[in-house]
Amino acid sequence: MTLVKSWVEISGSRLMENLRAVQAAASAGVETLAVVKANAYGHGAAGVGRALVAGGARWLGVNDIEEGTELRRALGEDSTRLLVMCGMDLADAPEIVAHGLTPVVWTAEHVDAMESAARDAGHRVKVHLELETGMARQGAALGAELASVLERLGGSKWVECEGVMSHLACSEVVGSTVTLAQQERFAQALDQVAAAGIRPELVHLGNSSAVAEGSTMEWLRETALRMKAKPMVRTGLSLYGYCLEMEGAKVAEGKLRSRLRPVLTWKTRVTGLRELAAGATVGYGATFTASHPMRLALLPVGYADGFRREASSSDGHGWVMIAARRAPVVGRVSMNLTTVDVTAIPEAALGSEVVLLGEGVTAEDHARWCGTIAYEILCGIRAHFVML
């Protein structure tokens, strides 16, 4: 048997509560697509995907075809719609069709590849068209670029443009002028789509922060209504219980964030204990010297597992929770081992459970130590998954 060094516990009930909170905040009539890319932000896409579908989610968003086919297999059905959001390799078109995935397209070549894969399969397929409005990543830009994709879509027998979408750059900024400019460009592009005779069923824009901020949801509802389409928003982080702090005004701060609870708890066990004399040093670089006698606990995780080196005592003053109390990291986090101070936690024993991330030490705490965002911390965790 292999030793499980660390594991992640996922609360299915909290996931459901967050899903309901997001749906309520997105408001009536707005469909939510649950984003489960990057292994559901480190939460395990198979378990999370199944739970979301059981909870009524009809749309899930994955990164690429590999995630899409794996999730399709894990779900064991093909009625849930899986949107492949990040990139389309032309050679993947037959597999996209075979697994009933829905690609995001934005070039005439994408449409051609889907057209011939659908013809070969003998049935029509649906695609979503991404419009470039200010991220400068994927998407057809207004004008000639968009015109060439629309022309191909218009002449297609086998490909149906089911959805039209774009992505916001500054959704966590309340009243952002960048967002306003993106909405403006999106509206113009939608006019160009309509003028080409294409009638998408879905129009989608926005992420968790857009739901929390609120104004884009209102704009989206009105815009979709005008096109006789259904509005949809793509939410990831909020389902997992986190939300960026809104910048600018406090307007919508309470709208979503306060109703979310983290669903992930990352745990390990104490694998060693050591009494340390005053003057002894700890870890690589001997960056820590005990100023008094101490008791250290050894943990079998390190930066290779996603427990970041910035949590080292010399860098960021990270901590873990043992017996509901903070045990500060001592010395440097190594690749697969970390030492923490349990001098003030007499309950700490061999085998004691340790919370690396969860109650008392959130993904936002980790993000602060590392100068990053909760997203990067969560999808960097490498552990076994346990669905509660």
Ligand X SMILES: *Cc1c(COP(=O)(O)O)cnc(C)c1O
Q: Is 19 in the site for ligand X (CB under 6 A)?
A: no
Q: How far is the CB of 161 from ligand X (least distance, A)?
A: 17
Q: Is 259 in the site for ligand X (CB under 6 A)?
A: no
Q: Kindly tell me which of 5 and 255 has the beta carbon lying closer to ligand X.
A: 255
Contact window for ligand X (CB under 6 A) among 146-154, 229-237, 245-253, 292-300: 229-237
Instruction: Answer yes or no: are the C-beta atoms of 263 and 358 closer than 8 Å.
Output: no
Q: Is 18 in the site for ligand X (CB under 6 A)?
A: no
Please give the Cα distance from 97 to 103 (Å, whole number): 9
Q: How far is the CB of 274 from ligand X (least distance, A)?
A: 41
Q: How far is the CB of 373 from ligand X (least distance, A)?
A: 10
Q: Kindly tell me which of 8 and 276 has the beta carbon lying closer to ligand X.
A: 8
Contact with ligand X (CB under 6 A): which of 110, 167, 309, 332? 167
Instruction: Answer yes or no: are the C-beta atoms of 213 and 26 closer than 8 Å.
Output: no
Please give the Cα distance from 316 to 323 (Å, whole number): 22
- Give Dmax over CA atoms of the chain in angstroms: 79
Contact letters (x/-) for ligand X, 196-225, by CB under 6 A? Answer: -----------xxx----------------
Q: Kindly tell me which of 85 and 153 has the beta carbon lying closer to ligand X.
A: 85
Q: How far is the CB of 344 from ligand X (least distance, A)?
A: 37
Q: How far is the CB of 283 from ligand X (least distance, A)?
A: 35
Q: Is 234 in the site for ligand X (CB under 6 A)?
A: yes
Instruction: Answer yes or no: are the C-beta atoms of 117 and 93 closer than 8 Å.
Output: yes
Check 5, 37, 126, 267 and give the catalytic one. 37
Q: Is 236 in the site for ligand X (CB under 6 A)?
A: yes
Check 126, 157, 242, 284 and give the catalytic one. 284
Q: Is 68 in the site for ligand X (CB under 6 A)?
A: no
Instruction: Answer yes or no: are the C-beta atoms of 227 and 4 closer than 8 Å.
Output: no
Whether 230 is catalytic is no
Q: Is 85 in the site for ligand X (CB under 6 A)?
A: yes
Q: Is 262 in the site for ligand X (CB under 6 A)?
A: no
Closest CA to 111 of 145, 136, 66: 145
Q: Kindly tell me which of 35 and 299 has the beta carbon lying closer to ligand X.
A: 35
**Cross-strand pairs, 104:** 128
Q: How many C-beta atoms lie closer than 10 Å to residue 240's C-beta? A: 30
Tokens of 276: 């340390």
Contact with ligand X (CB under 6 A): which of 69, 182, 235, 352? 235
Q: Is 35 in the site for ligand X (CB under 6 A)?
A: yes
What are the C-alpha distances in Å from 89 to residues 12, 84, 109, 117, 301? 34, 11, 10, 13, 36
Residue type, 335: M
Q: How far is the CB of 165 from ligand X (least distance, A)?
A: 7
**N-terminal to C-terminal alpha carbon distance within the chain:** 22
Closest CA to 302 of 334, 341, 340, 331: 334
Q: Is 179 in the site for ligand X (CB under 6 A)?
A: no
Closest CA to 333 of 321, 315, 349: 315
Kindly tell me the burial class for residue 54, based on how many C-beta atoms sit within 10 Å of its own C-beta (0-12, 13-18, 19 or more). exposed
Closest CA to 218 of 183, 176, 262, 259: 183
Whether 284 is catalytic is yes
Active site residues: 37, 284
Residues that bind ligand X (CB under 6 A): 35, 37, 85, 167, 207-209, 234-238
